Amino acid sequence: MPRVTEPPGRQLAAAKAELRRRLLAGRARLGPDQRAAAGRALRDAVLALPQVQMAGTVAAYASVGTEPDTRGLIFALWKRGSYVLLPVLRADADLDWASYEGPDSFRPGPRGLLEPSEPPRGRAAITSADIVLVPALAVARDGMRLGRGGGSYDRVLARVGAGIPTIALVYDDELLDTIPAGPHDQRVRLIARPGTGIISARP
């Protein structure tokens, strides 16, 4: 009987799904104190980056669940005068953007997300950002990023100019040698981890 081989697209999806399962299980073992400590270390590393210190506009995101906490980072960027953009999830899974106006300017969004309550500025608002902070479940040393599977940030990263620093925020053990990727997956240029700070990806 001939052997049935899965299409490459299905094999890639299965490999990503299994990796996501393992990474999410690892995050679930972290306690609130560990997540908060990781968030503080990432906050300090990002704020110390010269490109961030000079940035007029920073695109960030509000962490949820077991992600490294970003609330302190967002507040610190805003307090020191950066214009902070946060994502608004659209019905088509693409991202719109709106401004952050302090810790009381959040509202509940779809899929358990927190979103800014200010009016959206459109998908193209990301092109005005001097720095783009990106969530990830893991990042490879070449900058390939593994997200949640919706493709939202792959679309965002495709709109960001070649000279703009894009920074994925992950835990220390989420820097991997390789990540399964397809033609539409986008890389980040910098990788931030709590224990080692920020390093450049090596495509």
What's the DSSP call for residue 144?
A: B
Give the three-state DSSP class for 200. Answer: strand
What pLDDT does residue 4 have? 39
- How many angstroms separate the first and last alpha carbons of the chain? 42
- As averages over each run of 10 residues, the pLDDT of the chain (203 residues) reads 54 94 96 93 97 97 94 96 96 95 91 91 96 97 93 95 96 96 94 97 88
**β-pairing verdict for 131-135 and 114-116:** unpaired
Task: Spell out the domain ranges in the chain.
Answer: 8-200
Cα angle: 186, vertex 189, 191; to 5 degrees: 105
Q: 3-class SS at 106?
A: strand
Burial class (CB in 10 A: 0-12, 13-18, 19+), 193: buried
Q: Which of 62, 60, 72, 69 is nearest to 31 (CA)?
A: 69
Q: Which pLDDT score is estimated for 8?
A: 66
* pTM, full prediction: 0.92
At the second CATH level, the architecture of 8-200 is: 3-Layer(aba) Sandwich (3.40)
